[in-house]
Structure formats: C-alpha cells, structure tokens
Amino acid sequence: MSDRSLRGMRLGAQSMETEAGVEPAPRQRVEYRTEDGEQVFVMFSSEAEIPPVWTSKTGKEAFLVDGERPTDTNEKAVRTHWDMLLERRSIPELEQILADRLELLRSKRGA
C-alpha cells in the first residue's frame, strides 16, 4: 500500500515546502540608458553598490540615469604583441625575416 501513495509523484523535482512566510531579499530596480536612448533595467540588492556603467544585451555601454558619468582616467593603452614587435623591428626588417623563413620552409618541402 505504501508504494501506491507515492505513485505519480515526481520525487525530487518539486519541493514539498510552501513559500508561505518567506520574504525575498529587498531589491531595487535601476535604470540605465545608452547614447542612442535604449533603456536597460537591472535588479540589484538594496545593499549593492550600483555601477555607473552597464553593458546592455546589444553590447552598448549604458550609463546610469540621474547619475554622474564616470570620468576617463588617463591610463596607458594596452600594448599588443604587434606594438611590441614594432618597437624592436621596422617593417622592412620584418618583411626580410618573413622572406627568409618562407625560403627556408620551401627548401625543406622541396618545392
């Protein structure tokens, strides 16, 4: 008889507890806007520090409505591998190295 009482139940798939008496954490809805007027709404905890810039789903930067715009810091641009290579060699030198390496590869292939 006891196996019949559990028939049809999805054990583990549904909680047997109710949500009565449970209060969700306090939250706040924050609005951001992109340069072209797209609105972005984000939910944060009421205790969270709100960032001044948010990236929208479309990949655009959205700024906090009624908030201060972040100031640009004068940081150095990230140096790429190509930038560092150009600090050591000139374009003609790089072209010569490429030609030498291609010649070496072609001689190894027998072409």
CATH of the domain at 48: 2.20.28.270
Is 0.75 surpassed by the pTM of this model? no
- Separation of alpha carbons 79 and 86, rounded Å: 11
Residue 5 confidence (pLDDT) above 80:
no
In terms of domains, do 59 and 86 share one? no
Which pLDDT tens digit goes with each residue over 30-44?
999 999 989 999 999
Residue 52 confidence (pLDDT) above 60:
yes
Hey, what are 54's tokens? 């948010």
Instruction: List the domain range (segments joined by +) for residue 44.
Output: 27-64
In terms of domains, do 60 and 31 share one? yes
60 within domain boundaries: yes
Nearest to 61 by CA among 31, 34, 32, 30: 34
Residue range 94-111: mean pLDDT, rounded: 92
Nearest to 32 by CA among 58, 71, 6: 58
Q: In the structure, what pLDDT confidence band is assigned to residue 70 with cuts at 50, 70 and 90?
A: confident
97 within domain boundaries: yes
Estimate the share of the chain in helix, then strand, then coil, as percent rounded to the nearest 5: 30, 20, 50
Structural domains of the chain, count: 2
